[in-house]
Amino acid sequence: MKKSASIKSRKRQQRIADSSAFAVLILLALIAMLPIYWIFRSSLMTNNELFAWPPKLLPPNWLFSNYSAALEYFPFWKYLKNTMIIIVPSVLAGTITATMGGYAFARLRFAGKKFLFTLVIGSMFLPTMVTLIPLYIMWTNLFHLSDSFLPLILPYFCGGGAFNIFLVRQFVSTIPRELDEAAMIDGAGFFRILSSIIVPAIKSAMITVAMLLFVQMWNDLLQQMIYINSSEKFTIAIGLSQFKGSLKSDWSAIMCATCMSFVPGIIIYLIGQRYFVEGIVMTGMKN
Amino acid sequence: MSTTKTSVKQQRAALRKAARNNKLLRSENRAAYILLIPSIIGLIFLTYVPLVEVLGLSLFDWRGVGTPNFVGLGNYIRLFTKDPYFVDSIKVTIFYSILAVFGSIIYSFIVALLLNRKIPARGFFRALFYLPYVLPAMAVYLGWNWLYETNYGLFNYLLSLIGVDKVMFIASKDMVVPSLALIAIWLSGNLIVIFLAGLQNVPRVYQEAAEIDGANAWNRFWNITVPCMTPIIFYNLIMSLVTNLQVVTPALALTNGGPGNSSRFISYVMYQYAFKDGKFSYACAISFVLFLLIAAFSSLLFLSSSSWVYSEGGND
C-alpha cells in the first residue's frame, strides 16, 4: 500500500520534471531562433519602419519586394555560382580522398602505418592559421595562381582534412571484417572491396564529411578574401562584406542579402541532416 | 612412409600459404599507399612543410619581393617589445577564447541534456539548435550587427523592456569581446550534437542502480552523468579551444579590430601585416607564436586531463 503510493508520487515527480525540462527547452529554442526571426522580419520592412521605437514584432507590410530591390545591388546568383564553383569540386574531392585514407587506416596493413597515422592526428591540432602564409606564397609565387579559385579548391584533393580521415576510419572500423573477407575469397581486390562493400556501408559517414567540408568552406571568409580579388569572382561571403561597406545603414537591404545567404546552407542541411547526426554520433563515441 | 609424405605435403601447403600471405601483404601495402597518395601529399606539402617554412621565414626580413635578409630572432623581439598591437592582441584573444569556449561548452551541454530526455519532436529541436552552425559566418555577423545596433536593435529593445539603459554592444571597448563571444556560443551547435552522442552512451545501468539506492536527480547528474561525460567534455574543450584561439572572422566581417584595438585578435594582426602591409616574414613570426600558444594551451589541457577525465578500462 505504502509502496505503491511512493511509486505514484515518484511518477508524478518524474512527470513534473519532464514537463518543466520541456518548457525550458522550448524557451531556449525560442531564444536561439529569435535572431534568425528578427533578421528575416527586418528584411521585409522599410528602413523607416526599422528606425521606429518601439520596434514592431511583425512587419506591418510583408515587403517581399525588398528582395528584388536588393538583388539589383547584390548579384546573389552570380555570387552563389562562384561559391558553388569552389564548393562542389572541393566537397566531392575531399569526401572521396578522406574515404580512401580512412579505409586504408582502418583496414589495410602497411609499413609506416602508425607513423603516418600519428602525423594525421597531429595535424588535427595544427591550426590552419599557422600555415596560411607559406601556402599563400606557394600558390601565388610558385604556381602563379592569383585571383583564382584553384588555391581554395586544390587542397581538398589532398585528403579532405585530418578530422575527416579520422571520422571515416572510425566508421569503417565498426563494419564487420567478415564482409571484406568473404568478398576477398570471391576474388575481389582492395579497391573493389572499398567501392562495393565499404562505401555503401558508410554512406552516412561520407555525407557527414561532405557536410562538414561544406560548412568549413562556406565559413572561410579569410582565405576567400586572400585569394580572390576581382569582383567577377566574388563569393557570397566576400560579396556580403562589400555590400555592407557600400550601403552603410540601409539595414533593410543588408538584411535581405543576409537572409538570401542563409538559404543554401539551410537547404543542404535539411537534406543531409539525418545522416549527419548519425555520423557525428559515431565520432563522438570513440574520443 | 605415409606420415613423412603427409608432413611434406603439409610443409608445402604451409609454404604456399606463407607465399600467398606474403603476396597478399605486398598487394595490401601497395593498395594502401595508392589510397593514401592524396593524404600524404596533403600532409607533407599543405601541413608539415608549411609549418617548417613559417619558422624559417620568421627568422628573415622579407616583404614578398627581393632577397630575404636574415635577422635571427629580430622579428620576435620586435613583436614583444615594440609592436603596437601584438601584446594586446594576445590578451584579447585569450579573453575571447575563455568566454567563447566555456560559454559554448556550458550552453551546449545544457541543451544536450534537455534534448536527451523523453521529449516530443526531438529531431525537430535538435535540428533547430544545430541550424546556426550551417549559416555562413559573414551573414551571421552582418545579421547580429543589426541585432546589436545601439538605438533600434533587438537587444537594446529587450533590455529596455526590463528597464536597462542602452548598451553599445559592438561600439564600446568593454562590450565588444563579450558580444562577439555570445555569437560564438550561439553558433556552437556542433558541440551539442557531440554531447548528445556522448549522453546516449552513458550506461543506463548506473543510473538505474543509483535510483534504486535513492539518489536524487541532482546527485545522479554530478556523480554519474558528469564523470561519464568527461572524455566528451575534454574532446569538446580542446577542439573548441583550438578553433577559438584562431579567431579572425568577427574582426574581418564586423569590427576591423575596433573599437580601438579591443577586438584585434592575433590572427587579425597577422592578416593585416601579411596581406595589407606585405610584411610576410614578420607575420610569420606572429603565426609561429600563435602555434606555440595553441600548443601550450592544448598541452596544459592534456596534462590536467589525468586528474579530471574519467576513463573506463583504458582507451580503445
pLDDT tens sequence across A2-26: 556 667 777 787 788 888 889 999 9
Give the pLDDT score at B313. 46
- Do B37 and B156 lie in one domain? The reply is no
**Contact pairs from chain A to chain B, CB under 8 Å:** 281
Q: What single DSSP character describes residue A287?
A: -
Assess if residue B31 is contained within a domain: yes
Residues 118-147 of B with CB under 8 A from A: 118-120, 125-139, 142-144, 146-147
- Do B20 and B103 lie in one domain? The reply is no
Give the pLDDT score at A287. 39
Give the pLDDT score at B108. 94
Q: Which residue of A has its CA nearest to B254?
A: A241
Q: Is the ipTM of this complex over 0.85?
A: yes
- Do B51 and B188 lie in one domain? The reply is no
Identify which has the larger pLDDT, B221 or A282.
B221
Partner A contacted by B50 (CB < 8 A): yes
Assess if residue B49 is contained within a domain: yes
Give the pLDDT score at A286. 44
Helix (H, G, I), strand (E, B) or coil at A209: helix
CB proximity list for A14: less than 8 A, separation 6 or greater: none
- Do B104 and B222 lie in one domain? The reply is yes
- Do B168 and B287 lie in one domain? The reply is yes
A35 preceded by a cis bond (ω within 30 of 0) = no
CB B89 within 8 A of CB B302: no
- Residue B263's Cα: distance from chain center in Å? 20
Give the pLDDT score at B315. 42
Partner A contacted by B22 (CB < 8 A): no
Report residues of chain B scoring pLDDT below 70: 1-6, 311-316
- Do B102 and B18 lie in one domain? The reply is no
pTM, two decimal places: 0.89
* Residue B133 to residue A51, Cβ atoms within 8 A: no
Helices of type H across chain A: 2-43, 47-50, 65-73, 76-107, 113-124, 128-137, 150-153, 162-173, 177-185, 190-193, 199-201, 203-219, 221-227, 236-246, 251-286
Nearest-by-Cβ selection for A265 from B38, B48, B135: B135
pLDDT at A282 over 70: no
CB A228 within 8 A of CB A234: yes
Identify the CA nearest to A257 among candidates B142, B134, B131, B251. B142
Confidence of residue A278 (pLDDT cuts 50, 70, 90): low
CATH number at residue B142: 1.10.3720.10
Residues A44-56, mean pLDDT to the nearest whole number: 85
Residue where a domain stops, chosen among B15, B30, B57? B57
* Residue B146 to residue A255, Cβ atoms within 8 A: yes
Partner A contacted by B231 (CB < 8 A): yes
- Do B99 and B166 lie in one domain? The reply is yes
* Residue B232 to residue A284, Cβ atoms within 8 A: yes
- Do B225 and B196 lie in one domain? The reply is yes
Q: A68-286 maps to which CATH number?
A: 1.10.3720.10
- Do B100 and B234 lie in one domain? The reply is yes
Range of the domain at B292: 76-308
- How many Cα neighbours within 13 Å face the side chain of A56? 18
Identify the CA nearest to B269 among candidates B80, B84, B32. B84
A52: chain B residues, CB-CB within 8 Å:
152
For chain A, residues classed under CATH 1.10.3720.10 are 68-286
- Do B122 and B159 lie in one domain? The reply is yes
Assess if residue B314 is contained within a domain: no
Closest approach of A178 to chain B, Cα-based (Å): 17
Residues A52-68, mean pLDDT to the nearest whole number: 85
Work out how many domains chain B is built from and give that number.
2
Confidence of residue A285 (pLDDT cuts 50, 70, 90): very low
- Do B80 and B24 lie in one domain? The reply is no
Calpha distance B97→B107 (Å, rounded): 15
* C-alpha cell read off for A16: 513534473
Give the pLDDT score at B110. 94
pLDDT digits (tens, 9 = 90+) for A243-265: 887 776 788 899 999 999 999 98
Averaged pLDDT of chain B? 88
A54 preceded by a cis bond (ω within 30 of 0) = yes
Dmax (CA) for chain A in angstroms is: 85
Partner A contacted by B301 (CB < 8 A): no
- Do B130 and B100 lie in one domain? The reply is yes
